Structure 1
Amino acid sequence: MHSETYSTQYRDACLALFDSNVGKYFAPSERADFIEFLDNQAAQGHYLVFIESGKVVACGGVAASDDSEDATKPAHSAFCWGMVRHDLHGKGLGSELTQQRLDLVVKLGLPSQVRMETSQHTEGFYARFGFEAVEREKDGFAPGIDKVVMTMELANH
């Protein structure tokens, strides 16, 4: 398995990854937001695709915060749209994707506080890396999918 920077040739494969996780991890209504991200931000940013045997099996990225208008939020890096093909959960791909994204934050010199929005279904997974829940909204993404904001300070790890 290897990772590559996203390009539009991976768009359909990334959408298939998203679709494989709809229900428990993503709401169907989030698909339009993911398409918008792929079409307008992923190729300009630091979005990775993981390829195994010629197939995209995971994707996810990082970005510097764009909260300059909100002085209450410190500068931070953000994890964006991370996912592993549903039938490959539990095989270490998520851990590898998370570690590569953390390494990318350091390599790019992005702010050391990393922030993400995830669900209660993956909160425990990210906690193993040192992320802590700082906000929680029941059904924040969709019924049955809570919105959990998690942060981690890389200087502590």
Structure 2
Amino acid sequence: MQTVRPYQAGDRDACLALFDGNTPRFFDPSERADFAAWLDTSPHPYLVILRDGRLVACGGHALDGDGTVAALCWGMVAQDVHGQGLGRALTQARLDAIRALPQVVSVRMTTSQHTQGFYAAFGFETVKVTPDGFGPGIDQWDMLLTLFAKDAS
């Protein structure tokens, strides 16, 4: 059985273990302290997915400035269950939560060359690519998803 629920402080170690299991391919080790700080202090929504009681995915979103742009933050899936639809479920849950906010017109995110194609399938378009932007061998792909077209009148 699979459950999506809000992050709780007791999930911290399991989320850090997901990060560690996705290092160094998807995350540079230098990013771990930033992720731990996010878990400890962020006021933004963060979700976890449990499968048979085990935390297997986590990810959140935040609103920028005036609240019209959202950003996907720190999404990851346990390495041993990649390819089983958990990333899709996590991304869809986050986008559904964002779409429920009528003022949000777009969603931005940064990802790597390893997952940019996954997000492109959701409609995200590449804005910029920075070689080694996250660390050696991990390029930074800045991507944007437009939810609503601005009124041209």
Contact kept in structure 2, 1:105 and 1:112, CA below 8 Å: no
Whole-Å separation in 1 of the counterparts to 2:101 and 2:11: 23
Deviation at 1:154, TM superposition (A): 1.6
Q: Percent of aligned pairs with the same residue?
A: 51
State the partner residue of 2:60: 61
Whole-Å separation in 2 of the counterparts to 1:89 and 1:3: 17
1:6-155 equivalence runs, <5 A: 6-41=7-42, 44-66=43-65, 75-109=68-102, 111-155=104-148
Q: Which runs of 5+ in 2 are unaligned?
A: none
Whole-Å separation in 1 of the counterparts to 2:114 and 2:103: 27
Residue deviations 1:97-132, cap 9 Å, x none? 111111000123451200001001100010011001
The TM-score, its normalising length taken from structure 1, stands at 0.90
Deviation at 1:155, TM superposition (A): 2.5
* Structure 2 residue matching 1:108: 3-state secondary structure: coil
The TM-score, its normalising length taken from structure 2, stands at 0.92
Q: Which runs of 5+ in 1 are unaligned?
A: 69-73
State the partner residue of 2:4: 3
Contact kept in structure 1, 2:60 and 2:72, CA below 8 Å: yes
Matched length:
148
Runs of 4+ with deviation above 6 angstroms: none
